[in-house]
Structure 1
Amino acid sequence: MLYQQISANKRNTIIVLFLFAVLMVLLASFLGYIFGVKFALWFFTGSVIYATISYFYAANVLMQINDANELHPADYPQLFSMVEELCIAAALPMPRVYLIQTACPNAFATGRNPQHASIAVTTGLLQMMENDELQAVIGHELAHIKNYDTQVTTIISVLAGLFLHWD
């Protein structure tokens, strides 16, 4: 079941990227018809460059938007130990760990693949949860990384951001 989910998410990523390319070609063709071929080529090239740069920096931007601070093992040794243990158990590389200063209990994972993943937790979550509960939440976020859910959401966020920036 797990491998089917990973395969489906990788396939969905390819489908979304293909549909984005088709949409950009159609939109560039339409704009080329109205404003000329040169404009269409600039539009298409700019869209591809934007999508590529955003894909590689989406996790960093998300952390900046949330005022997340990257943690080091000395900052929260118990949290780092917990994340490291769960990563070893799940055969995942250690993600970057961030802390968001807010009373709202929350956690999320982001990144384009397990090798470039990040996990953020809020101070509210750390204060509210017992260790076994926190371990379950972090395990849940690591499952998103392992199943490539974060890749699909990163791609969709980047592509949606392209259209939202036009406003």
Structure 2
Amino acid sequence: MASGLAVDELKKMAESVGVGTPLTPPDQYEIESDTKTITAEEAEKWLGSKIPMPTKLPVGAVITYILTKSEDEESVTVNFQSPTNTDERFFIDIMKGDIQKEVGKVPYIDGKSTVKEIKLANGTTAYACQYKAWSAQDPNLTALQVLFWEPSKGVIYKTFGTKPIEEYVKIAESVK
């Protein structure tokens, strides 16, 4: 506060306001985007090559492809879902770009980086991290496990969810 009032008066005013919680910027910003379901062929055309797929899949997996376009980004999300068990599903976001830049965008949690390097069985470097999360269905959920890797130069895969990171490493290692 700045005023011509006496210090005692300023102190009384300050104490009357009480203590609040300062505003903090969100870890993630909502980006307006267009999404549409596409075919596997359209996804491969978008990528410019065949899409390497994991062999570790839920039993009877239904695979769908969704193209997302926003102002500054395009990606294809491949959804792998069991037709009988909704817990047996995972997603892979496919992006074009520099993996180091994508990993550099990972938000900090409580002021700390959660990014850790992992070597996959084939020698590829992957990056495990966490994103803050919450769910009305699971009040104990505080973070999603995320794994980035580059199956081919300039193509970034990101898989994420509530499973332990070791499960996503197995998925990444099964991509052929």
Larger radius of gyration: 2
TM beyond 0.5:
no
TM-score, scaled relative to structure 2: 0.27
User: Whose RCO is larger (CA < 8 A, sep 6+)?
Assistant: 1
Provide the TM-score with structure 1 as the length reference.
0.28
Greater helix content = 1
Higher strand share: 2
